[in-house]
Amino acid sequence: METRGLAVSEAFMLTGRTAVVTGAASGIGRAIALELARAGAMVRGVDRNGDGLAHCAGAHVCDVGDPDAVATTFAAIHVMGPVDVLVNSAGVSHIGSIEDTHPDDFDRLFRVNVRGVYLCTRAVVAGMAARRRGVIVNVASIAGWAGLADRFAYSMTKGAVLSMTLSVARDYVQHGVRCNSISPARVHTPFVDDYLARTYPGREAEMFAKLSATQPIGRMGMPEEVASLVRFLASDEAAFITGTDYPIDGGFLRLHG
């Protein structure tokens, strides 16, 4: 069996390419970094938690919301070679309606989830355009589409990620740069387990089942499933795809309710 003239084992490979993954120390970002490395990419992991980046070929401790830190980090990355793939996966969450969202919480989420994507994309897109080759994948969320209850600030930031994705794709489509996003529903990460332990002590199993049932498919997603979609979008097999968001949500947006 052949895929676009390549043996199946050679499809979706990123051999010889450099990929930068933000938020690579844990959860979805970690799974993405591992999957891109498995595809042959040289992965540069970016995260505030340097201890969690041992699985990356290059580890860069950086607060993506800090312009100076991002400039310094990407200058160091560029010294080692051009960036072929950027995955903006770093993000933080918050629970609450607009009344429950303090301005400090609003600014914290905007700083990481929106300004972080802006700063990291800005750090690589000119170089990609000059080489007429590059891929940017942003991790958005179904919250950006559905406006989840009690997720005001988080939904706002992920809506901004969707808009940035389309804008960058439009501005750079003639320069050989593709930009897409993915929108996961609930994904089973250590963050979920920690949240349940803190919020529902003694009821973790019950609440896990309740949250899992939110997805029509009947379970949460796994980080590795999200990572596989990112690998596809980063590969040459997705060369005809740009300016698109991909829900990976167990049917939440189209089948829910």
Catalytic status, residue 154: yes
What single-letter DSSP state applies at residue 96?
B
Distance CA 64, CA 242 (A): 24
Q: What residue type is 60 in one-letter code?
A: H
Identified catalytic residue from 118, 154, 172, 246 = 154
Burial class (CB in 10 A: 0-12, 13-18, 19+), 243: middle
For the four alpha carbons of 18, 28, 35 and 6, in that order, the dihedral sign comes to negative
Burial class (CB in 10 A: 0-12, 13-18, 19+), 42: buried
Active-site residue set: 154
